[in-house]
Amino acid sequence: MPGPDDGPWGIPFTVQDFAAATTGKLGLALRPLAAAEARELDVANGLLVERADGAAARAGLQRGDVVLAVNGEPVFSLEQFRGLVSRAGSRMALLIQRGDSRLFVPVRIS
Is the CB of residue 61 less than 8 Å from the CB of residue 28?
yes
Q: 0.85 cut: is pTM over it?
A: no
Residue 52 forms beta bridges with which residues? 28
Cα maximum dimension of the chain: 46
How large a percentage of the chain has pLDDT more than 70? 78
Annotation: CATH topology of 8-108: Pdz3 Domain (2.30.42)
CA-CA distance, 71 to 81, in Å (whole number)?
Answer: 11
Is the CB of residue 85 less than 8 Å from the CB of residue 25?
yes
**Domain residue ranges in the chain:** 8-108
Quote the pLDDT of residue 102: 97
pLDDT tens sequence across 74-107: 999 999 999 999 899 889 999 999 999 999 999 9
pLDDT tens sequence across 23-41: 578 899 999 999 999 999 9
Quote the pLDDT of residue 23: 54
65: left (phi over 0), alpha (psi -120 to 50) or beta: beta
Residue 6 forms beta bridges with which residues? 12
